[in-house]
Structure 1
Amino acid sequence: MELKDVIHGHRSIRKYEDKEVSQELLEEILDAGIRASSSGNMQSYSIVVTKDKERKNKLYSAHMDQSMVVDAPILLTFCADFNRMRKWLSLNEAPVHFDNFMSFMIGAIDATLVSQNCALAAENAGLGICYMGSTLANCDQIGKLLNLPANVVPVVGYSLGYPAENPAPRDRLPRNGLVHYDTYQDYSDQEILEIYKERDEKGWNRYMDVPHLKEMTERLGLKNLAQIYTIAKYTKESHHEFSQTVLNYLKEQNFMDNGER
């Protein structure tokens, strides 16, 4: 396909055919990821490919019981990784650090860039993916299940396989609500309402069209999409909890050195 068609045709795929992805195609996808931009060309990431059904069953709970975890033939987990770099530094009698928050951010950005390269290559080959925010939210559980050593943290992950559904592409906010030229131009109330007008309508209709989502919305007495986001989906309490999980795991994985020795 044309690159623009791949990009604009992206959908999150949650249902997959019972069909294996060949090793040859998988390696083509991984090689596309490896060509992604990388800070200092350090390639401070690792990719964990999970095919084993028993391992996927164990990851199911950590990924918040999302069905595609066990239904897709492959899970890809992209990790910030300075373990490999630190070992190389030690073997070459160079100072060994990269054990701080900035290093984690470098690795996280590298891993995310790689993940999107792989996603585009996969979709170009007719496969489908679904990113899972649970990869970072439950990074401690997932890290344990994937046997990640110190200085490695899972950041981004998604299911991968042949689609067994054909959902319509989801709406996106308009370009003029996302792009700023020269400097950031803050929004007036009227501009915000205009930017989110289509999202408010389509997002609300989507919840009303799915019986269990409609039931949840009505049970909680929610009146608009903004309330769905902050009362039902992404509560302040859950984000505080996940934030603490990530911070604790970064410390456990040796990414929180504050320079005081």
Structure 2
Amino acid sequence: MNEVIKLLKSHRSIRKFQDRSVEEEKIKMIIEAAQCASTSTFVQAYTIIRIRDMAIRKEIAKLSSDQIYVEKCPLFFVFCADLNRLDLACKINSTQMIEGYTESLIMATVDTALVAQNMMIGAEAMGLGGVYIGGLRNDPYKVCELLDIPKNVYPVFGMCLGYPDQDPETKPRLPLDVILKNDKYRIEKDEEKIREYDKLVSEYYSERTRGKRDDSWSKQVAEKMGNELRPHMREFLKSKGFEMK
């Protein structure tokens, strides 16, 4: 196994960090590496906001279901899907950007996810660890107000980074033959494989918590998908110019 594959397979979410600053040169290198991620037709439709103001961090932590590590981590970033800069490019070239198409939303969101994943991998390659914070979408209106986020831009998620102060095990992923299909989408054996996977995940949680957590992958998914998922997001996106035509 080469070092890149080994790094990718060792990913864990880190929520506890050493009381140690991350070197500015290292931060710069990580962000430059993130920028090298693939981007749809070279549009680079994302913006990364580094949050240094602790009052803003504290508010975002509160909005994100009181995830205290947003406030405590050495570095916190908000990743935004950004069409505003594309609008500017159109104006520079005396063209009007046609707004509101679903494809634009997808394009910007995918670009943002790719640059963020590059950033996480780059950080881990330099001895850092981190965790994504989707909870800021609990109240995206307030986040936009806090960060002065304009029209045609929306916050997709946050990211905590720093030197790890914990060493959790990697979570077992779904079996390869569940997520990898050949030629056509077939699900004949998926339920059987997922039930087997549930047992593996249950064992992981039991060992990690010394028997205090009885859980499985399908149980977690059922609890999540059996409830409304941030129903405010559609109207919020429309309010930011992502009308999904």
TM-score (norm 1): 0.85
CA contact (8 A) 1:111 1:156 kept: no
Q: Residue 237 of structure 1 aligns to a residue in which SS?
A: coil
The question of 1:254 aligning with 2:241 is answered yes
- Give the Cα–Cα distance (whole angstroms) in 1 for the partners of residues 6 and 240 of structure 2: 40
Instruction: Give the Å deviation of 1:98.
Output: 3.7
Instruction: Give the Å deviation of 1:208.
Output: 8.2
List gaps (5 residues or longer) in structure 1.
Answer: 218-222
- Give the Cα–Cα distance (whole angstroms) in 2 for the partners of residues 195 and 67 of structure 1: 33
Matching residue's letter, 1:115: A
Q: Indicate the residue corresponding to 1:226 in structure 2.
A: 218
Instruction: Give the Å deviation of 1:193.
Output: 2.2
Instruction: Give the Å deviation of 1:255.
Output: 1.0
Q: Residue 165 of structure 1 aligns to a residue in which SS?
A: coil
Matches within 5 A, 1:144-223: 144-188=145-189, 191-203=190-202, 206=205, 210=209, 214=213
**Per-residue CA distance 1:209-256 (angstroms, 9 max, x = gap):** 648974xx7xxxxx865344433xx153331xx0x2211111110110
- Give the Cα–Cα distance (whole angstroms) in 2 for the partners of residues 138 and 145 of structure 1: 11
Q: Runs (4+) of structure 1 moved beyond 6 Å?
A: none
Instruction: Give the Å deviation of 1:138.
Output: 3.5
Instruction: Give the Å deviation of 1:31.
Output: 0.5
Q: What percent identity do the matched residue pairs reach?
A: 27
Given the superposition, is the C-alpha separation of residues 125 and 209 from structure 1 closer, same or farther in structure 2, using an over 3 Å criterion? closer
Given the superposition, is the C-alpha separation of residues 203 and 8 from structure 1 closer, same or farther in structure 2, using an over 3 Å criterion? same
Instruction: Give the Å deviation of 1:101.
Output: 2.3
CA contact (8 A) 1:171 1:199 kept: no
Matching residue's letter, 1:150: K
List gaps (5 residues or longer) in structure 2.
Answer: none
- Give the Cα–Cα distance (whole angstroms) in 2 for the partners of residues 213 and 142 of structure 1: 35
Q: Indicate the residue corresponding to 2:58 in structure 1.
A: 57
TM-score (norm 2): 0.90
Given the superposition, is the C-alpha separation of residues 77 and 224 from structure 1 closer, same or farther in structure 2, using an over 3 Å criterion? closer
The question of 1:86 aligning with 2:87 is answered yes
- Give the Cα–Cα distance (whole angstroms) in 2 for the partners of residues 235 and 197 of structure 1: 21
Q: Residue 131 of structure 2 aligns to a residue in which SS?
A: strand
User: Between Structure 1 and Structure 2, how many residues are aligned?
Assistant: 244
- Give the Cα–Cα distance (whole angstroms) in 2 for the partners of residues 209 and 165 of structure 1: 13
Q: Indicate the residue corresponding to 2:102 in structure 1.
A: 101
Q: Residue 27 of structure 1 aligns to a residue in which SS?
A: helix
Q: Please, what is the CA RMSD of the aligned residues? A: 2.3
